[in-house]
Structure 1
């Protein structure tokens, strides 16, 4: 997902400032797709230059609220329907796992326990959020229903990563390889 299309999609829900958009990213996609304020503001400026968004209002301290233009809506729809999905997943925990052999077993065990705990906590947070959505606390708009689908993906992803971290504690390099009874220790 590109930041520009994420911003356009969020602005399709209604006008927002860069600060508000950063909050929305954190609320929904925080650990999956972080968006830092400087990048958001830079991208909003590019989108405005391209005519995909426009400044709706300017408030105190020159805080700008942006809204999506018709051209911006068309761009999001084009991205959703015509652009191939980038399935690249950049998960640092998986990159690190390639080098677990370089950690001593106690450090690795502690690391994997912490990873499993972290992912379970995230899955629980997303599950709580999903339950609130399912109870109707946020209404039943199309945007809310789409967000519920996204939240379910987060629940399943983090549950799978927690299960992976639990499993990784039971196999080498976290546990020594048992000696082969035919060749000895």
Structure 2
């Protein structure tokens, strides 16, 4: 993902000023998907305008500008969203930690996994509350923006939480010397 595509998406949903875009990145987008501050947002807005992907629709007091996506900007975002993701470099710190968990002593691994389980349970609870407060994810426009992403995040949290609970059971069973019983429980 790139900052330019995030900005295009926000501006397609509704025209905004650089200040309003910065606030959006301080809220859910920055918390869950992509962080950016005003020092990177404002220069990127200039590049997008220069490329004809956005335009200034209103100039206000003290030089504030409201931006909106152009048809070319809409086309660019659509092309980017529909393109199959290509990962030339994979860098996922969480997955790397899971690969390396066996380097820990079992008690430390269990402590780590319990932390993951607690974190994901709290994240899932927060996203469930957002979903309940905002209605169906099928809404278009500002009211529905992010609800599909919230559901995606909720399902990720639930999946990781379930995996962490399973991994704790496996490690505890190994520590108890009853690995065969744990394997039988996980299959049945």
Q: Per-residue deviation at 1:133?
A: 1.5
Q: Distance in 1 between matches of 2:17 and 2:112?
A: 38
Could you give the per-residue CA deviations for residues 10-69 of structure 1, whole angstroms, max 9, x where no partner exists? 101222233422433454444441222133333222212211113332544x55432222
Match runs of 1:9-158 below 5 Å: 9-37=9-37, 38-55=39-56, 56-57=58-59, 59-60=61-62, 62-81=63-82, 83-86=83-86, 90-134=91-135, 140-142=139-141, 144-145=143-144, 147-158=146-157
Q: Distance in 1 between matches of 2:54 and 2:77?
A: 12
TM-score, length basis structure 2: 0.74
TM-score, length basis structure 1: 0.75
Q: Which residues of structure 1 form unaligned runs of 5+?
A: none
Q: Which residues of structure 2 form unaligned runs of 5+?
A: 181-188
Q: Secondary structure at the match of 2:33?
A: coil
Q: Secondary structure at the match of 1:99?
A: helix
Q: Distance in 1 between matches of 2:86 and 2:27?
A: 23
In the TM superposition, structure 1's runs of 4+ consecutive aligned residues that sit over 4 Å from their partners are 86-90, 172-175
Q: Per-residue deviation at 1:107?
A: 2.8
Q: CA RMSD in A?
A: 3.3
Which of structures 1 and 2 has the larger relative contact order (alpha carbons within 8 angstroms, sep 6+)?
A: 1
Change in CA separation of 1:25 and 1:57 when aligned onto 2, cut-off 3 Å: same
Given that 2:110 and 2:171 are in contact with CA atoms closer than 8 Å, whether structure 1 keeps it comes out as: no
Aligned positions, number: 177
User: Which deviates further from its counterpart, 152-161 or 126-135?
Assistant: 126-135
